[in-house]
A and B are shown apart, each in its own frame.
Chain A
């Protein structure tokens, strides 16, 4: 069974459309330069004019957990499931699956890997070895 994917809403339609075509994009506010992932009106300046641009794909873990109970059959054979919230280098954050050899930690570097889920794509993040 494949993992559940959210239905896009109005604010996230652009993000998910780009993602499903294999691009992780942010929406840059034309007025104040704030980067968003899902937006109708900019909460910083009230602006409503946004331009899509590719995200670098890098980020850090804002927070994470390892789930030891499977609530969905797609996760039943891969416990514990590691997931969390990633802060992209552009600023905005999103829920994402986390994986890799390194141990997850708040502030740890991650790099996006887009993985197919049926006819959709999901942004998962691989823990990368820190510079030192």
Chain B
């Protein structure tokens, strides 16, 4: 067992997380950092490092290094933009963890903010802005494939074709995830989703329907990362970063490869399980990046929880849902029914569960939690394993 970084999440802050908020991304980010510091029992003056998550998908590209000045932070030892597409949140947390681990800063804030929703307008095209691409990848727009749903639809079609499955497996994911959201006051969609509701909803990109796609909101999330040995005296139970890893497969677009289903979790899993000495069976909860319902299925298989095409068993009869008896997955409602703040959504829920602060949806066993982030079309991936302080002293 190699061990992971000497780092813990000691503070969590949110701002917005709804469709009505009209503050700018920069202001939401500032509020989330202030809230995270307060949650940790600190003032922002204690912060000596800042990592801003950015993705090309985020609507407000101006969130930048000058957040330092907006927060009035002096003498920072780290100020960085982490850019790894949808995996930027965990990339930022990994940078923070390594920095505090090496003693190069003590209290690092990681923040993501986005404002894709214009209050009062129709949601549809929140992430489908006009784009003309570059090179071969740009041909997707010539083919009409705008928005994340279009490329994850390609993954879902292949998944069905390879394993003889159909939309039923996606409906299981959407319905189970909604059942968790019903127990989360911060979730966007909380009304139980029936099989009929699911199939009655319009297609976005076949086979993905409305409830196979993330719920966009305006908001920001910040976490405070500090050294594990300093975290014991915090205002909240520390959540330890037991291991952190990335995995970027770079799969060729050519016969003999399967880029639309090759997930970087297979690479990250080796690092994470080797660092912790854990196996998939010892993970209590998974918080997957589920911008589209196909993603948790592919993630479960990449991480070795199931063989290829078998991950539907995790959701059968609602097993992954509240009281379902299986391993709980996306216990806050994920992106699908909770809120889409990219890589930070699964982090928030993991921290709340590990603290025992998840209210009605608190899982009995929440000592060891896998959190994942995905970007591109399964091109970029990061994962961390978080440990509750009572179990991992």
Contacts and interface: CB of A to CB of B under 8 A. Distances in A.
Interface of A: 3-9, 11-12, 15, 34, 36-38, 43, 62-69, 71-72, 75, 80-85, 87, 91-98, 105-107, 117, 122
Contacts of B146: 67, 71-72
A42 B347 CA distance: 38
A107 B157 CA distance: 11
28 contacts: A3-B144, A4-B133, A5-B138, A6-B135, A6-B137, A6-B142, A7-B135, A8-B134, A8-B135, A9-B134, A38-B135, A43-B252, A62-B158, A63-B158, A65-B150, A65-B208, A66-B205, A68-B202, A71-B128, A80-B206, A83-B145, A84-B154, A92-B253, A93-B255, A96-B142, A96-B143, A105-B161, A117-B142
B133 A6 contact: yes
A101 to B, nearest CB: 18
Nearest to B155: A63
For chain B, give the interface size range: 35 or more
B157 to A, nearest CB: 5
Nearest to A98: B143
Given A7-B138, A67-B205, A69-B124, A83 B161 contact: no
B298 to A, nearest CB: 14
Contacts of B157: 63-65, 106
Contacts of B253: 37, 85, 92-94
Interface string B299-326: 0000000000000000000000000000
B146 to A, nearest CB: 3
Ranked nearest first, the 5 interchain pairs of A and B with the lowest CB-CB distance are A6-B138, A83-B143, A71-B146, A71-B128, A81-B144
Looking at A65, A91, A117, the one whose CB has the most chain B CB atoms below 10 A away is A65
B144 A69 contact: no
Interface string B247-265: 0000011111001100000
Nearest to B257: A93
A71 B127 CA distance: 9
B140 interface: yes
B124 A4 contact: no
B45 interface: no
B392 interface: no
Nearest to B159: A63
A68 to B, nearest CB: 5
A72 B141 contact: yes
Contacts of B205: 65-69
A91 B253 CA distance: 9
B297 to A, nearest CB: 16
A34 B154 CA distance: 25
A43 B134 CA distance: 20
A29 to B, nearest CB: 12
Contacts of A6: 132-139, 141-142
Contacts of B131: 4
A65 B293 CA distance: 15
A92 B254 contact: yes
A94 B128 contact: no
Contacts of B281: none
B147 interface: yes
B145 A38 contact: no
Contacts of A8: 134-135
A45 to B, nearest CB: 13
A68 B134 contact: no
Contacts of B207: 65
B129 interface: yes
Given A65-B205, A68-B204, A71-B129, A15 B143 contact: no
B203 A68 contact: yes
Nearest to A107: B161
Interface string B199-235: 0001111111000000000000000000000000000
Nearest to A37: B136
A64 B140 CA distance: 11
A5 B125 contact: no
A63 B154 contact: yes
A41 to B, nearest CB: 12
Contacts of B141: 3-4, 6, 72
Looking at B137, B139, B145, B254, the one whose CB has the most chain A CB atoms below 10 A away is B139
B141 to A, nearest CB: 5
Contacts of B139: 6, 94-96, 122
A39 B206 CA distance: 31
Given A67-B204, A106-B158, 4 more contacts: A6-B141, A72-B144, A83-B145, A94-B253
A106 B150 contact: no
B130 interface: yes
